[in-house]
Amino acid sequence: METVSLTVSPVSKKAFAPFGDVVETDGAELRLINQGSTERFHDLADIDVTEGGGRAIVSLFRGQPFAPPIAISMMERHPLGSQLFFPVGAKSFLAVVAPDENGIPGVPLAFLCPPGTGVNYAKNTWHHPLLSLETVSDFLVVDRDGPGDNLEEHHYAGTQFRIDAITT
């Protein structure tokens, strides 16, 4: 089996755009609400979950930490809805995505998401399951519940991708 090392890049709205939204307050529309006592960072992601009778749900995921080397041997996608991950607390995490190549994931791309930054994987985007770093980390997750099969997994055959170091 061939092993290919992946480079981790800092997440940015431009680089991540083909896969979904970067969820952060930088550049967001700021609205003052509650008689000016609260700042609202408005409309941070395109939540897309209503296909086939789905509805948005909010969950808390608790991710166990990973440390390099991290094997990337499978990817998943959700054909009926987007999936948003936002860290609760000052934790970094990895978002690993891949372009679709005729129905299967291509070569993965790895992004380091700093504290206070989340991602919203667009509907049908190949991505690796949650990759917390350093310590057990909680994530607020907005995704789809409802009828239909909303999970597809693909295991890479013949090639294993690996993240050897996290430096940006």
pLDDT tens-digit profile of 49-100?
999 999 999 999 999 999 999 999 999 999 999 999 999 998 999 999 999 9
> How is 54-98 classified by DSSP, letter by letter?
-EEEEEEEEEPEE-SSEEE-EEEE-TT--EEEEEESS--EEEEEE
Q: What average pLDDT does range 114-141 have in this prediction?
A: 97
User: What value does the mean pLDDT of the chain take?
Assistant: 96
Query: If pLDDT is split at 50, 70 and 90, which confidence band does 112 have?
Result: very high
Q: What average pLDDT does range 12-38 have in this prediction?
A: 96
Nearest C-alpha neighbor of 96 from the set 85, 115, 109: 109
* pLDDT(168) > 70: no
Nearest C-alpha neighbor of 118 from the set 163, 79, 160, 85: 85
What is the CB neighbour count within 10 angstroms for residue 58? 9
Is the sign of the CA dihedral 101, 151, 98, 42 positive or negative? positive
**SS3 call for 13:** helix
CATH architecture of the domain formed by 2-163: Sandwich (2.60)
Query: If pLDDT is split at 50, 70 and 90, which confidence band does 158 have?
Result: confident
With a CB cutoff of 8 Å and minimum separation 6, the contacts of 128 are 72, 74, 75, 76, 94, 96, 97, 108
CA–CA distance from 139 to each of 98, 115, 132 (Å)?
22, 11, 9
What whole-number distance in Å separates Cα of residue 88 and Cα of residue 107?
A: 29
Break the chain into its structural domains and give their ranges.
2-163
Any idea which residue has 């994931």 for tokens?
Answer: 105
What whole-number distance in Å separates Cα of residue 5 and Cα of residue 70?
A: 10
pTM of the model: 0.95
